[in-house]
Amino acid sequence: MQIFTNASPSHPVRRIGQYLLLIMLAVLCVFPFWWTVVTAISSRGNIFEFPPTFWPQAPSLANFAEVFRVIPILAFYKNSILIAFWTVVWKLVLCSLAAYPLARMRFHGRRLVFGLILATMVLPSEVNFLVNFITVTKLSLVDTYTGVILPNVVSAVSILLLKQAFEEVPQDLIDAARVDGAGEWTIFRKIMLPLIRPWLATVAVLSTVEAWNDYIWPFIVMSKPEQFPLSVGVLYLAGTYGSSTRAIAAGTVLTVVPMLLVFLFSQKFFMRGMDGAIK
């Protein structure tokens, strides 16, 4: 009995060890961003000293003001918001329409189709760049927001999450709706979608972060600086201030902060959706 008690997860020593491990992981994850913030706020001191400085020296917002002066960052913000918004909207629409029949309808080849969708997760996204660029070129979508958005409106991960969400809805609820005369479209729109809102929020958050941070594909499709999203436009700082790490750090912070706010305000729905996906 004593051995079993010591091995229990509730044992104080084990619990302390778990908390220490979590604290170490949190520090490893947070430190790079905190170091970037300290660099952006500091106006003097050696940023590459070791051990690094954990608090800003002579705090100032001059580096952020310089970013706004040198690049049209508000225009880049507008472009990123536009691209992220429509990417999320179309991904929710198309992925939910794809996930519902895979979860609730029985048709020949259903397992094959789902297997092919999952197989795309094995390949890195860069493999599709050539095919996507040829397609975008043939459709005359180069240098357009549609050309940036179109290849990202469907993803296997989103379909998988929403398929699992649809499968968790009780079948009795669907059967009762069919007895009342509801068709598939009505069931999908008025019953299924409201019930899986946490999962939809999870997909929306993940898609927003992915679209906001996407760099390579917008850089390939776009050639006009006024149409660049923030992830691409902020690189002008590296060319303008190749030796000014503080200005580059300030631009990086301005890029990351919006996504932190998105996750902060949607954390409840995001965690509920991930909890459902794990189950």
Say whether both 54 and 92 belong to one domain: no
Say whether both 161 and 257 belong to one domain: yes
Which residue did the predictor score with more confidence, 41 or 49? 41
- Which of 42-51, 232-241, 268-277 has the weakest average pLDDT? 268-277
Query: What pLDDT is recorded for position 34?
Result: 86
Question: Angle 123-152-87 (CA atoms, 0-180°, nearest 5)?
Answer: 155
The answer to whether the beta carbons of residues 202 and 99 sit under 8 Å apart is no
Listed residues 60, 83, 107: the one ending a domain: 60
Query: What pLDDT is recorded for position 93?
Result: 94
The answer to whether the beta carbons of residues 234 and 251 sit under 8 Å apart is yes
Query: What pLDDT is recorded for position 3?
Result: 45
Say whether both 105 and 7 belong to one domain: no
Which of helix, strand or coil describes residue 29?
Answer: helix
Say whether both 103 and 169 belong to one domain: yes
| Averaged pLDDT, 209-225 | 89
Single pTM value for the model: 0.81
Query: What pLDDT is recorded for position 120?
Result: 84
Say whether both 15 and 149 belong to one domain: no
pLDDT at 164 over 80: yes
Task: For residues 240 and 17, give the distance between their C-alpha atoms in angstroms, rounded to a whole number.
Answer: 47
Say whether both 29 and 108 belong to one domain: no
Please measure the distance between the N-terminal and C-terminal CA atoms of the chain and give it in whole angstroms. Answer: 32
Q: How many domains does the chain have?
A: 2
Say whether both 22 and 75 belong to one domain: no
| Averaged pLDDT, 126-132 | 85
pLDDT at 78 over 90: yes
Say whether both 5 and 81 belong to one domain: no
Task: For residues 168 and 156, give the distance between their C-alpha atoms in angstroms, rounded to a whole number.
Answer: 19
Say whether both 51 and 38 belong to one domain: yes
Listed residues 60, 76, 108: the one ending a domain: 60
Most confident option among 37-46, 51-60, 94-103, 229-238 = 94-103
Task: For residues 12 and 160, give the distance between their C-alpha atoms in angstroms, rounded to a whole number.
Answer: 39
pLDDT at 278 over 90: no
Say whether both 78 and 170 belong to one domain: yes
Which domain does 146 fall in, by range? 62-278
Listed residues 42, 60, 78: the one ending a domain: 60
How does DSSP classify residue 190? I
Say whether both 11 and 84 belong to one domain: no
Task: For residues 202 and 263, give the distance between their C-alpha atoms in angstroms, rounded to a whole number.
Answer: 10
| Averaged pLDDT, 197-201 | 88
pLDDT grade for 5, boundaries at 50, 70 and 90: very low
Say whether both 53 and 68 belong to one domain: no
Q: What is the CATH number of the domain that holds 264?
A: 1.10.3720.10
